Amino acid sequence: MGYEIDKTEEQWRQELSPAEYHVLREAGTEPAFTGEYTHTKATGVYECRACGAELFRSDTKFESHCGWPSFFDPADSSAVELLEDRSHGMVRTEVRCARCGSHLGHVFRGEGYPTPTDERYCINSISLRLVPEEDAGESRG
């Protein structure tokens, strides 16, 4: 798929830290329970750390106790791209930023969480940047 933000891997390497690059561009995973936003309850907008696209809002974040931030719905259905992932001997649904193609995590369905969608977007903290509500309102006009 072609993305609005189209950079070479060398450009991404220059802009991202090695850990960010590993997760966002190589579909890596940060260790469970180590991410910056795993337990965050702050109100705001979660943006793609690579390109700044709005991905999730804090009012869709919930405690799943899985070790990574969990959301039950993206901010906009077109904000993310869902792809079949057959890595590691299993079939999952990968979640990528629809604007730049960066790996965010995976989405799981039918796990029984008491959420409106019965979906858990399990997202790496390092793939996100939280813009607090007061700042988000100012930057969006």
Distance between CA atoms of residues 22 and 103, nearest Å: 9
Question: What is d(CA 53, CA 68) in angstroms, rounded to the nearest whole number?
Answer: 20
SS (H, E, C) 95-139: EEECCCCCEEEEEEECCCCCCCCCEEEEECHHHEEEEEHHHHHHH
Catalytically annotated residue among 48, 51, 97, 122: 122
CB 129 within 8 A of CB 44: no
Return the residue matching tokens 């890595």: 87
Is residue 105 within 8 Å of residue 123, measured between CB atoms? yes
Q: In the annotation, is 66 catalytic?
A: no
Annotated catalytic residues are: 122
